[in-house]
Amino acid sequence: MLDVTILPILSDNYAYIFKIGETVGIVDPGEAAPIIDYLELNNLKPDYILITHHHFDHVDGIEQIKSKYNCIVIGPTAEQSKIYGIDKRVCETDTLDINGEDVQIIETAGHTMGHICYYFKNSKVLFSGDTLFAMGCGRLFEGTAKDMFHSFKKLRALPNDTTVYCGHEYTIDNAKFCLSVDGDNAALIERAKEVQTIRDNNKPTIPTTMGLEKKTNVFMRCDTAQEFKKYRDLKDNF
């Protein structure tokens, strides 16, 4: 069974440590020191580093961690030239076997063109990087709204009870935006209150679930690329 620990890093990023039995992995180590501190404190040696995309706040810790632990770095084939130390390149036709857990690679162009998400099928856990956020989506730095809409359609096909771990703590601002365009949504109103309480207590609003996102995330509720673009443009200027 997959066990996930959330590690706040940098200003608002999350990195993740996961365990499957004795196997240990790290997702998107944008900063080495707090991750190494956690590993040493808990006497853990990572076997894998999983990377969703090439941005510095998701990869800057790779070199130091790999040098210390000699772990295997897995990342998107399309971004291999932009990411230090990739040992195994993966794309959507690939699957990984991590200590018996079947990991599906989902290509999610939009935030970057080579962005991927990792779906742990047995445990129904998604590491979504900067594609899907709690009540939000990533900025379109490289792709188009149409690209991201199609990426969201892929994620929307996952089971409602999928647990989602994303790359940033953006939930309060995302909730405010969603309320500004979907203010009569009772589930959204209730969720916005809940996440405010969570943040008031300085706790992560992550993880979320796919079912919750389908009810309260305006981007997940879009039926067309045009509608998605309208909301992404509004969010960019919110």
Catalytic residues: 53, 55, 57-58, 111, 130, 168
**Cα 209 to chain centroid, rounded:** 12
* Residue 95, helix vs strand vs coil: strand
Specify the 3-state DSSP secondary structure of 183. Answer: coil
Half-sphere exposure of 213 (CA within 13 A, CB side): 34
The residue among 74, 86, 81 whose CA lies nearest residue 116 is 74
Pairing mode, strands 72-76 and 2-9: unpaired
Angle between helices 145-156 and 225-236 (to 10 degrees): 110
**Number of C-beta neighbours around residue 225 at 10 A:** 17
